[in-house]
């Protein structure tokens, strides 16, 4: 028998590593890949040329009325956005009181950012502040009528303010409600189970517009005369219940994916139902369905535009409303407004998407098949 | 026959005329079993003979429909709080490890002592490190289960159960899902545990282990206890024809 010889380590072939290797394997692997790469590059170039021409080179950035935007070449009328910016953000919220909205937004950012950074300290205090202190703080400050603050009726709220109030409330409430509904649907108790199934199927089976319309038009009919609660509040309830139904099914999907062995191991250690749920199964289920949860959040964020149907002016609604302003009637106003609205929505939704991918990768513990990208 | 085998002190586990059905399928039939403190019982038998179901009835992961089960003299019922109390004192190790993949090895071991026994975090970690040392993986405490080999995972599972300081340990084919070279490291840990005097019931087909540590071997077939015997008698001179056939199948190779 010949003696065993160790083979010395060798460097990988030069054209399979580094930048050249990357280009070869990803973009120019074969003649077909190379052709597709070139076609794609050509298309991207054309798109960029049009976008930059319209959005920057031929665009109007300042001006006090439509005259500034009436030009030979087509270009965005950013002056329109500039002139209406206050309305787009605050709606008809009294100008002298807008600092209150700014303060609430600042508090939100200040409270949320450290919460979203896993390494930031004082998580427990931070969570408690955001759950217990922030909501009443925001409520009293935005609504007013206390401590000498002028009351700003919610009917005057509008723009991004309404979009964010509806979206954030919906997001913050639909997740816990959805979790409870999902647990209820999986429960062994027949009454709890049927109530949850009924709730989920009813809210998931009707369009959001119907829910909003009912919340705004039908609900008051059932309430005694004189009892009239706020339109925005009714809308918040409608949106929350609607997304909770979707959320419940997303969460249930995660729970279904948890192996029976996890429940058994927890039970064998003496953990009861609630501890098993809170410590073992729900954290794993939620981690699995992060993409689905964020998908629902993003859907909800964009669905806030439907509040227009019951007479609330969210960001998109108020932009559209301003199209009717004769001072700014130009061929470019509509498209500029829509592009602006799209960009604003996209920024928020894309941020949620990136954050969810960051969390997915951070929570990975070595048994996932692939990194999230 | 069983009378002479059972030591006279009071039983840790006693099953009397236990019967269980899955729907209409009669999976456990008239099971009688007594295990005294410090005894090591090995259960073997063909697949589907009800071995897992039997030991899962002991900590009530499965509920029996007829007969009585007593743990340390206390009768058990499918009442939820009752079950949780019993499960604290009965540790279980599964074929598929069933570690919690979202927690580190250390957290797997400290979870139940903290949340079920109510001991402090520092104390729980001290205990966890002690048992991880005993199963010889103290250096893996901060890894996640997904980063460990099967043998290491199963040893963590044993440490996790031991951290509850159970009075009884149940093993359901703890080495069946392992590659051959990892079986020994798990069996070594189990042998040590047996030598320390733990009351153990092991479902296993590791006959070397059975010969070394078992006080009694139980052979099951079709939901019944066919034979209950000392290891020497069981291997040299089985009382039952069915046992003989089973042994000849295992030792064929
Ligand atoms: N949850 C269950 N529902 C219905 N049948 C089951 C269930 N669990 C086990 N069985 C059946 O009961 C029998 C005994 O199972 P088990 O105790 O797991 O056997 P063993 O561990 O000896 O292989 C098998 O036929 C199996 O298919
Ligand atoms: Mg089995």
* pLDDT score, position B1: 41
Phi-psi region for residue B118, left (φ > 0), alpha (ψ -120 to 50) or beta?
A: left
Flag whether pLDDT at B5 surpasses 60.
no
Which residue minimizes the CA distance to atom 17 of ligand 1? B50
Mean pLDDT, chain A, rounded, equals: 91
Query: Cβ contacts (< 8 Å) between A264 and chain B: which residues?
Result: 61, 94, 98
Interchain proximity A279–B111, CB inside 8 Å: yes
**Beta carbons of B98 and A262 less than 8 Å apart:** yes
Q: Near ion ligand 2, which residues have CB within 5 Å?
A: B 52
Q: Ligand 2 centre and the CA of A76: distance in Å?
A: 71
Which residue among B87, B96, B99 places its CB closest to the CB of A270? Answer: B87
Mean pLDDT of all residues in B155-167:
97
Task: Give this prediction's pTM.
Answer: 0.88
Residues contacting ligand 1 via CB (< 6 Å): B 22, 25, 27, 45, 47-53
Q: Kindly state the helix (H) or strand (E) to which residue A286 belongs, with its residue range.
A: helix A282-288
Interface contact flag, A287 B161, Cβ < 8 Å: no
Q: To the nearest whole percent, how much of chain B has pLDDT over 70?
A: 95
φ, ψ of residue A91 to 5 degrees: the values are 70, -135
Chain B residue numbers touching A261 (CB-CB < 8 A): 94, 96, 98
Q: Which CATH number fits domain A78-93+152-363: 1.10.40.60, 3.10.20.30, 1.10.3720.10, 2.60.40.10?
A: 1.10.3720.10
**DSSP helix/strand/coil, B226:** strand
Nearest Cα residue to B34 out of B64, B73, B65: B73
A261/B98 CB distance under 8 A: yes
For residue B23, report the phi and psi dihedrals to the nearest 5 degrees: 65, -120
ipTM of the complex: 0.92
Q: What phi and psi, each to the nearest 5 degrees, are found at residue B79?
A: -70, 130
Query: Which chain A residues touch B146 with a CB distance below 8 Å?
Result: 365-367
Q: What is the pLDDT along chain A (373 residues), one digit of tens a residue?
A: 577 888 888 888 888 888 888 888 888 888 898 999 999 999 999 999 999 999 988 888 888 888 888 888 888 999 899 989 999 999 999 999 999 999 999 999 999 999 999 999 999 999 999 999 999 999 999 998 888 888 999 989 999 999 999 999 999 999 999 999 999 999 999 999 999 999 999 999 999 999 998 887 777 777 777 666 788 998 999 999 999 999 999 999 999 999 999 999 999 999 999 999 999 999 999 999 999 999 999 999 999 999 998 889 999 999 999 999 888 888 889 999 999 999 999 999 999 999 999 999 999 887 777 777 7
Mutate to test the pocket of ligand 1, among B31, B42, B45, B52 (most ligand atoms within 8 A of CB): B52
A79-111 as b/e: b if 16+ CB within 10 A? bbbebbeebbbbbebeeebeebbeebeebbeeb
Q: How far apart are CA A156 and CA A144, in angstroms?
A: 13
CB-closest option in A266, A269, A287 to B102: A287
Query: Which whole-number Å values give the CA distances from A171 to A102, A240, A343, in the listed order?
Result: 21, 8, 21
Give the tokens for residue A160: 């991004």
Annotated domain spans of chain A:
16-57, 78-93+152-363
The tokens for A352 are 């949620």
What tens digit of pLDDT does each residue of A85-110 get?
999 999 999 999 999 999 999 999 99
Chain B residues with beta carbon closer than 8 angstroms to that of A271: 84, 111-112, 115-116
């Amino acid at each position: 028998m010949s003696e065993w010889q160790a083979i010395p380590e060798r460097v990988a072939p030069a054209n399979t590593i580094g930048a050249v290797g990357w280009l070869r394997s990803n973009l120019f692997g074969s003649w077909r890949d190379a052709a597709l790469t070139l076609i794609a590059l050509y298309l991207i170039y054309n798109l960029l040329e049009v976008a930059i021409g319209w959005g920057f080179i031929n665009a109007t950035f300042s001006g006090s009325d439509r005259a500034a935007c009436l030009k030979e070449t087509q270009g965005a009328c950013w002056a329109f956005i500039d002139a209406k910016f206050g309305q787009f953000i605050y709606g008809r919220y009294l100008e002298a009181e807008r600092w209150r909205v700014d303060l609430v937004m600042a508090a939100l950012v200040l409270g949320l950012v450290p919460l979203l950074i896993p390494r930031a300290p004082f998580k427990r205090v931070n969570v408690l502040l955001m759950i217990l202190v922030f909501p009443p703080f925001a409520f009293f400050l935005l609504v007013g009528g206390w401590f000498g603050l002028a009351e700003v009726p919610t009917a005057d709220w509008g723009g991004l303010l309404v979009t964010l109030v509806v979206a954030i409330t919906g997001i913050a409430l639909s997740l816990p409600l959805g979790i409870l509904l999902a647990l209820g649907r999986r429960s062994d108790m027949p009454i709890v189970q049927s109530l949850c199934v009924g709730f989920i199927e009813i809210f998931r089976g009707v369009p959001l517009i119907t829910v909003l319309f009912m919340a705004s038009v039908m609900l008051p009919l059932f309430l005694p005369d004189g009892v009239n609660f706020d339109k925005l509040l009714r809308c918040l309830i409608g949106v929350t219940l609607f997304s909770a139904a979707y959320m419940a099914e997303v969460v249930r999907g995660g729970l279904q994916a948890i192996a029976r062995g996890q429940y058994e191991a927890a039970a064998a250690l003496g953990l009861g139902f609630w501890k098993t749920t809170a410590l073992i199964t729900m954290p794993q289920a939620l981690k699995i369905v992060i993409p689905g949860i964020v998908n629902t959040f993003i859907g909800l964020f964009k669905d806030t535009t439907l509040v227009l149907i019951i007479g609330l002016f969210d960001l998109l609604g108020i932009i559209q409303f301003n199209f009717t302003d004769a001072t700014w009637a130009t061929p470019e106003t509509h498209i500029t407004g829509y592009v602006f609205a799209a960009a604003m929505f996209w920024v928020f939704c894309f941020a949620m998407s990136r954050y969810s991918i960051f969390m997915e990768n951070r929570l990975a513990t070595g048994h996932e098949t692939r990194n999230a990208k | 026959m069983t009378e002479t085998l059972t030591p006279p002190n009071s039983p840790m586990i006693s099953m009397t005329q236990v019967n269980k059905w899955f729907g209409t399928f009669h999976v456990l039939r008239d099971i009688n079993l007594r295990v005294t403190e410090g005894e090591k019982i090995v259960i073997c038998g063909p697949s589907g003979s009800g071995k897992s179901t039997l030991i899962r009835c002991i900590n009530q992961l499965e509920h029996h429909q007829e007969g009585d089960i007593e743990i340390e003299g206390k009768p058990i019922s499918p009442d939820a709080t009752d079950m949780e109390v019993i499960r604290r004192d009965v540790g279980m190790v599964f074929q598929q490890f069933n570690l919690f993949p979202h927690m580190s090895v250390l957290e797997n071991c400290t979870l139940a002592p903290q949340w079920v026994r109510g001991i402090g975090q520092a104390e729980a970690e001290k205990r966890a490190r002690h048992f991880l040392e005993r199963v010889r993986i103290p250096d893996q405490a901060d890894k996640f289960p997904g980063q460990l080999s099967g043998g290491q995972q199963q040893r963590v599972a044993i440490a996790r159960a031991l951290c509850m300081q159970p009075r009884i340990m149940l093993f359901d084919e703890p080495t069946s899902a392992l590659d051959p070279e990892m079986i020994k490291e798990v069996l070594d840990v189990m042998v040590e545990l047996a030598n320390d005097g733990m009351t153990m019931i092991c479902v296993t087909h590791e006959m070397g282990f059975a010969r070394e540590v078992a006080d009694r071997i139980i052979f099951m077939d079709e939901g019944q206890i066919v034979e209950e015997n000392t290891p020497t008698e069981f291997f040299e001179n089985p009382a039952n024809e069915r046992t003989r056939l089973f042994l000849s199948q295992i030792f064929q190779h």
